[in-house]
Amino acid sequence: MDRAQLLLLGLPLFLFCSDLLSLFISSPPSPPLSSKPSHHHHHHHRPAIDPATVESSSEKPETTIVGGVGLGNTVTINYCSSCSYRGKAVAMKNMLEIAFPGTEFILANYPPPLPKRLLSKVVPVVQIGVIGIVVAGEQIFPMLGFVAPPPWYYNLRANKFGTVASTWLLGNALQSFLHSSGAFEVYFNGELVFSKLKEGRFPGEIELKNLITKKMANSRLANGVPELWP
């Protein structure tokens, strides 16, 4: 096998191993939760947030109004970025910024479960492996101890273009599925307010506004501040 073929097979394996190491060693840090005391006895799991996808409304001076009704509170919307939920998350954020001036709003990607993330690292390696076998199988199989390539190799080689195209398209579709979480989770000061994973639907604008209003009112009462809403 020449150097080009070794590079074709060795590079994806190297990338796969480095992805695995980074997945277990450098997991993204969780966002800080509110320092306010909580009077609830149950806690909801909050997934790790990808720092590269975090957007905070604190970058917009007009949303941090001094003395606003939401001053000191944080609303986080974790959504599935690969599911095209970003537009929905931005629309909800804009609506809530108007309703609760002074509140900090954070948008972040909700990562899929660990098994799906691990499988998503395997898919490109399999893609490159199949393509490498189709292109250079006659040199690869002898190196693996085979006297001659197996019969299924000749079936793949008979339709080389179709095999490569199918492997690439199916692999990309599988990766898209593995990257999706289907989540649209809303948190108020670190406490889960609405979960699409549990409810199986998106929250309505009025519904989400009412949920956050109740949480904010309870938070103000817990800190000795008069309630602002009837």
Amino acid 38: pLDDT: 42
pLDDT tens-digit readout, 72-103: 899 999 999 889 899 999 999 999 999 999 99
3-state secondary structure labels for all residues of the chain: CCHHHHHHHHHHHHHHHHHHHHHHHCCCCCCCCCCCCCCCCCCCCCCCCCHHHCEEHHHCHHHCCCCCCCCCCEEEEEECHHHCCHHHHHHHHHHHHHHCCCCEEEEEECCCCHHHHHHHHHHHHHHHHHHHHHHHHHHHHHHCCCCCCCHHHHHHHHCHHHHHHHHHHHHHHHHHHHHCCCCEEEEECCEEEEEHHHHCCCCCHHHHHHHHHHHHHHHHHHCCCCCCCC
- What pTM was computed for the model? 0.61
Q: For the stretch 102-119, what's the b/e string if a residue is b when 16 or more beta carbons lie within 10 angstroms of its beta carbon?
A: bbbbbbbbbbbeeeeeee
Q: What percent of the chain shows pLDDT beyond 70?
A: 65
Confidence tier at 142 by pLDDT (50, 70, 90): confident
Confidence tier at 29 by pLDDT (50, 70, 90): very low
Amino acid 208: pLDDT: 94
Give all domains of the chain, ordered by start, each with its CATH number: 74-111+181-223 (3.40.30.10), 113-180 (no CATH)
Average pLDDT of the segment spanning 20-25: 54
pLDDT tens-digit readout, 196-222: 999 999 999 999 999 999 998 887 666
Amino acid 158: pLDDT: 85
Confidence tier at 195 by pLDDT (50, 70, 90): very high
Amino acid 152: pLDDT: 85
Confidence tier at 156 by pLDDT (50, 70, 90): confident
pLDDT tens-digit readout, 36-66: 444 444 444 455 555 445 554 444 444 333 4
